[in-house]
Amino acid sequence: MSEVSRFGHVELEDMPVDIRERLEPIVEKSGFVPNVFRALARRPRELRAFLDYHDALMDSDDGLSRAERELIVVATSGANHCTYCVVAHGAILRIRARDPEIADKVASNPYAVTLSPRERAIVDLALLIARESETLTEEDLDTARAAGLTDEEIWDVGSITALFGLSNRIAHLTALAPNPEFYLLGRQPR
């Protein structure tokens, strides 16, 4: 087993050029290649689709803020017990929310962590979709709307939850290990 994934991985220099070019800004910014990309690069078509889906949902401040989007990811990944996503997106959430404690609180107990009413509505909807989406009804959406979420924001909550439900499952399938750097990122106030 490689230290990245139980199915092995691909180093940045061995990835197809379009993927390499796409990942380089991320690598430059963070200083390392997140393991999810090295593990998924064994299947370039799937990695491209994953990146496209990810960017369509996560690279935006339109409606949900970037911090709110990461909040959904950490709550979903905590409820799904996904170590990679909790550690990696926990780091991003700490940075985006400028709060060194929020990620550990949300990941360990998304059900009762103290949040603003808007954040609580976002997390409640995400948890419902992550763990028992078959029971979701119009009333559940009305609860979210009553907390101020628009239908486009509700779509975003649901789709981000669904995408990271996919991501959590692939991380479990591949025994994906977080890069050591993620554990410390965003923990010290700057």
Interface ranges with a second copy (CB under 8 A): 6-7, 43, 45-46, 48-50, 52-53, 55-57, 77-78, 80-83, 86-87, 100-101, 104-105, 107-109, 111-114, 129-130, 133-138, 141, 151, 154-155, 158-159, 161-163, 165-170, 172-175, 178, 180, 183-184, 187-188
Q: Are 20 and 12 in contact (CB under 8 A)?
A: yes
Please say which residue, 22 or 187, places its beta carbon nearer to a second copy: 187
Q: Are 23 and 39 in contact (CB under 8 A)?
A: no
Please say which residue, 11 or 151, places its beta carbon nearer to a second copy: 151
Q: Please, what is the minimum distance in Å from the beta carbon of residue 180 to a second copy? A: 7
Q: Please, what is the minimum distance in Å from the beta carbon of residue 59 to a second copy? A: 10
- Residue 7: alpha-carbon gap to chain centroid: 22
Instruction: Match 């763990």 to its residue by tokens.
Output: 131
Q: Are 84 and 35 in contact (CB under 8 A)?
A: yes
Please say which residue, 67 or 125, places its beta carbon nearer to a second copy: 125
Please say which residue, 147 or 162, places its beta carbon nearer to a second copy: 162
Please state, in angstroms and rounded to a whole number, the distance separating the CA atoms of residues 87 and 46.
23
Q: Please, what is the minimum distance in Å from the beta carbon of residue 49 to a second copy? A: 4
32-64 burial code (b ≥16 CB/10 A, e <16): ebbbbbbbbbeeeeebeebbebeeebbeeeebb
Q: Please, what is the minimum distance in Å from the beta carbon of residue 138 to a second copy? A: 7
